[in-house]
Chain A
């Protein structure tokens, strides 16, 4: 079945450092890919998305490119801030279901801690 694998955390960085969080997926068909962020005590917020191969999603300085050849969707940011400290989830749309669905399959999440 479809699945998402994320790099283990926590990831600890100093402010203004470069961030990469790796995400790879296994899927049949052409799923849409998403990054969500969860701040302490809150629900998930959509950070960015890509719906087809070579698409680049971007938002708030974060970027991720849909790479079908490597089945990857790595999250990057050039200069992190303390306020970026949160848990980041990679997800894909479940194409295995026999009909239309908005179900997402999530990775395990990566905790990012940014120190001043």
Chain B
């Protein structure tokens, strides 16, 4: 069974630009979550989508948004990029329901210059 895939793997942007990251979950998984990983803040939860609906959200500004499609693939968007948005963005998928283990993709490394 294929794992979670994320594209692109690396991105370089400049301040003020916007970026879209993509995630394809494991086949059959309908829950997709996004995390930001930085050396200073560690792993922080961004949001979770289930059946095309956001069902949980972390404490990030409105510049961070996401969506999920009917095939469970998900995208997250960051608008008006700031230097502090430089991070590894990890996508994870899970089975239905709650409190299940999450399976992570390799991440997208975003660098904002």
Contacts and interface: CB of A to CB of B under 8 A. Distances in A.
Contacts of A34: 101
Instruction: Using C-beta atoms within 8 Å of the partner chain, give the interface range for chain B.
Output: 20 to 34
B32 to A, nearest CB: 9
B70 interface: no
Interface in A27-70: 31-32, 34, 36, 42-46, 49, 51
A43 B90 contact: yes
Contact of B102 (A51, A100, A102, A109): A102
Contacts of A43: 4, 6, 90, 104-107
Question: Which of A31, A34, A103 has the most chain B CB within a 10 Å cutoff?
Answer: A103
Given A99-B55, A103-B33, A103-B56, A109 B42 contact: yes
A42 B98 contact: no
Contacts of B92: 44, 102, 104
Question: Which of A36, A101, A105 has the most chain B CB within a 10 Å cutoff?
Answer: A101
Interface string B15-32: 000000000000000010
A9 to B, nearest CB: 12
Interface in B24-76: 31, 33, 42-43, 45, 48, 50, 55-56, 58
Majority-rule SS of A interface residues = loop
Contacts of A89: 43
Interface residues of A, number: 27
A102 B33 contact: yes
B99 A32 contact: yes
7 contacts: A46-B103, A94-B45, A99-B98, A101-B98, A103-B48, A103-B58, A104-B102
Given A101-B56, A102-B48, 4 more contacts: A43-B6, A46-B103, A101-B98, A102-B102
Interface of B: 4, 6, 31, 33, 42-43, 45, 48, 50, 55-56, 58, 90, 92, 94, 97-107
